[in-house]
Amino acid sequence: MRHTTIVPLITSLVLTLGLTACGGKKDEAAKGEAKADGGAAKSDEAKADGGEAKADGGEAKPAAAVSGAVPKGRGAADNDKTVLAALAGLEACKLNMEEEDIDECEGYDKFSDALVAAEEKDAKAVDRTLINLLGDDKEVVRFAAADLLGDTWEEDEALIGTMLAALGAEKNVAVAKEIAYAINSGVDSEKLYGKFLPNLQAALVQVTEYDVFDTLYPHVSDCADAKACGGLLVAVAKGGAALDVRSYAAGEALDLEHYDAEACKAAAALVPELSKQPVPKDDDDSVEFFPQEDAGELIDGLGELQIGDDEAKAETCAAVIPGMIDALMPQVTDGTIHEDVVDAVLYLGDDGVKKADYMDKVKAFATAVEGSAKITNKDIKEEAKNALEDWKEG
C-alpha cells in the first residue's frame, strides 16, 4: 500500500496511428482497421505454437540477419522504366507533414494510374521498383512508393530485408509510418518475428517515432521464440534512438512471461535518465510523453517482479535496485526529484520478497527526501516521513 494518496499514473504514449494517404491502391477501411489493433490481427498464425518452443527457459541463440540491402533508388538497374517515367509529375506534389499525407495532387493520381497500367505487364517489377524508390532523395517519392506498394514482394526474402533496411534508415516520420504499415500488413508474423527478427531489431533500434515501433514490435503471442523477442525489446530499451521508445520497450520487456535477465538492468538504467528530463506542463495538450511518469512505472514494474513467486526474477531485479537508487540520489540532493519517482521508490520498501537486499537503500532515500532543504514539495517530504514511520512499526 502506498503511504499517501496516489495520483494514478497515466499512460504516456499514444497508441493511435494516423497513416492515411490519398488515391492509394490499398483499401482505406482495412488499412485503418489493421492499424487500430497494432498489428494484432496477423498474430493468429503464430499463436498456434507461439511462445511454447522456449517455455523451458532454454537459452535463445540469436539468428543471423537475412541479407537486406538499403534501397538503391532511381539508379537501380532493375527498375521499371514506366514507373520511373511517371515520377516527373509526382515530384511536384507536396507531403503534408501535419496530415502525414500527400496533398491532393494531379501528379500523384497520374503516378498511381501509371502503376496500375504497369502492373498488368509485370507487377513484380513495379513492386521491386517502388521498394528501390524508398531510397530516393525526395520524401514525397518515398512516401508514395510505400503507400502504393502492391503485394508481390511479400514472399521475396531479399525485398523483405530491403524494406526493413529502408525502415531503419528513414528519418521522415510520415514515410517511416507508411513503410511500417506496409511491412505490418504484408509480412506474416511467423516470418517477421522468426527469420527476420534480427533485421527487425536492427530497424527498430533506429526508429525515432513511437507509433512506428508500436506498429511492429513483437508481442509475445507473435513469437515462436519468445526469448529472442524479449531480446529485441531489451536491445531497443538499451540502445534505441528515442527515449520514449526505449521506455516503452523496457516496460514491455519487464512484462514478458519468457523473461530476459537483462530486462531489469535496462529498466533500472533508464529510470534516472527519465527522471531528470524536463517536466512537461500539465496543461499542454500537445505533450504525449511524460518521462517522470514512465520512470515511476518502470520502478513499479521492478517492484512487481519482487512480489511474485518467481525467485529468479526477484533476485535479478533486486540486484539492480540499489544502483538505481544511488543514481537517483543527486536529484534528491538538488531538489529536482519528481513526486512520481519518490512515490515509486518508497513503494519498493513495502512488499518485495527480496526487499532485504535493498531496504537500506530505500530507507536512505526516504531519509534524504524528508531532510532535503532543496525539496519544496511538502507532500513528497510527508510521504517519505510516513514511510519511515511505517517501516519502524513493521
In a domain, 94, yes or no: yes
Nearest to 373, CA basis, from 334, 338, 330 = 334
Q: Are 324 and 371 within 8 A, CB to CB?
A: no
Domain around 184:
14-41+61-191
pLDDT interval class at 48 (50, 70, 90): very low
Q: Which three cell numbers stand for residue 111?
A: 503516378
In a domain, 299, yes or no: no
d(CA 201, CA 77): 29
In a domain, 54, yes or no: no
In a domain, 126, yes or no: yes
Q: Which three cell numbers stand for residue 384?
A: 517519505
252-285 pLDDT, tens digit per residue, is 998 886 666 789 999 999 999 999 999 998 767 7
In a domain, 83, yes or no: yes
Contacts of residues 98-107 at CB distance under 8 Å and 24 or more positions apart, as own/partner, are: 99/20, 100/18, 100/19, 100/20, 100/173, 100/174, 100/177, 101/20, 101/21, 101/22, 101/174, 102/21, 102/22, 102/140, 102/143, 102/144, 102/147, 103/22, 104/22, 105/22
Q: pTM for the complete prediction?
A: 0.80
CA dihedral (247, 254, 15, 147) positive or negative? positive
149-164 pLDDT, tens digit per residue, is 999 999 899 999 999 9
95-130 pLDDT, tens digit per residue, is 998 888 898 999 999 999 999 999 999 999 999 999
In a domain, 80, yes or no: yes
In a domain, 87, yes or no: yes
Q: How many domains does the chain have?
A: 1
In a domain, 206, yes or no: no
Q: Which three cell numbers stand for residue 331?
A: 536529484
